[in-house]
Amino acid sequence: MEWNALGITILIALLMLWNIDFVATLLNLKALSPEVPEEFADVFDAERYAKSQEYTRDSARFGIIESVASLFILLFFWFAGGFGWLDQLTRSWTENELISGLLFLGLLYIGNYLVSLPLSIYSTFVIEERYGFNKTTPATFAGDQVKSLLLSALLGLPLVAGLIWIFGNVPQAWLWAWILFTAVQLLLMWLAPAVILPLFNKFEPMKDGTLREAIERMAKKCEFPLAEISVMDGSKRSTKANAYFTGFGKTKKIALYDTLVDEQSDDELVAVLAHEIGHFKCKHIVQRLGVSIAQSAALFYLLGLVIDRDGTFARMLFDAFGVETISTAVGLVLFAILFSPASRILSVFSHAWSRRHEFEADAYAANAMGTADHLITALKKLSAKNLSNLTPHPFRVLLDYSHPPMLERLAALRRLKS
Q: What is residue 248's predicted lDDT score, i.e. its pLDDT?
A: 62
Are 258 and 235 contacting, i.e. CB atoms less than 8 angstroms apart?
yes
Residue 192 vs residue 336, higher pLDDT: 336
Q: Which residue has the higher pLDDT, 152 or 191?
A: 152
What's the half-sphere exposure (Cβ side, CA atoms, 13 Å) at 132? Answer: 8
Instruction: Give the whole-angstrom CA distance, residue 105 versus residue 102.
Output: 5
DSSP structural state of residue 228 = E
Give yes or no for a contact between 141 and 73, defined as CB atoms under 8 angstroms apart.
Answer: no
243, 273 contact by CB (below 8 A): yes
Confidence band, pLDDT 50/70/90 cuts, at residue 89: very high
> Which of 161-165, 205-209, 342-346 has the highest mean predicted lDDT (pLDDT)?
161-165
Tell me which DSSP letter residue 38 carries: G
Helix (H) or strand (E) holding 265: none
Q: Which residue has the higher pLDDT, 240 or 238?
A: 238
pLDDT at 227: 76
* Residues carrying an active site annotation: 276, 362
- Residues 285, 279 contacting (CB under 8 angstroms): yes
Phi and psi at residue 170, to the nearest 5°: -115, 130
Digit-coded pLDDT (tens) for 336-380: 999 998 899 999 999 999 999 999 999 999 999 999 999 999 999
Contacts 24+ apart (CB under 8 A), 405-414: 406/379, 406/380, 407/37, 407/39, 409/358, 409/359, 409/362, 409/379, 410/39, 410/376, 410/379, 410/380, 412/359, 412/362, 412/363, 413/362, 413/363, 413/366, 413/372, 413/375, 413/376, 414/372, 414/376
DSSP 203: E
What single-letter DSSP state applies at residue 368? H
Confidence band of 133 (pLDDT split at 50, 70, 90): confident
- Looking at residue 238, its pLDDT comes to 82
How much is the average pLDDT of 13-39? 94
pTM of the model: 0.90
- Can you tell me the distance from the alpha carbon of 378 to that of 268, in angstroms, rounded to the nearest whole number? 5
Residues 395, 23 contacting (CB under 8 angstroms): yes
Rounded Cα distance between 388 and 383, Å, is 5
SS3 248: coil
pLDDT tier, 251 (very low <50, low <70, confident <90, very high otherwise):
low
CA distances from 177 to 80, 293, 329, 389 (A): 32, 12, 13, 41
Q: Give CA angle at 394 (391, 400), nearest 5°.
A: 95
Tell me what the mean pLDDT of segment 26-42 comes to.
93
pLDDT at 116 (0 to 100): 94
Cβ proximity of 383 and 376 under 8 Å: no
What is the percentage of the chain residues whose pLDDT exceeds 70? 98
Antiparallel, parallel or unpaired: β 252-257 and 243-246:
antiparallel
Q: Does 249 have pLDDT greater than 70?
A: no
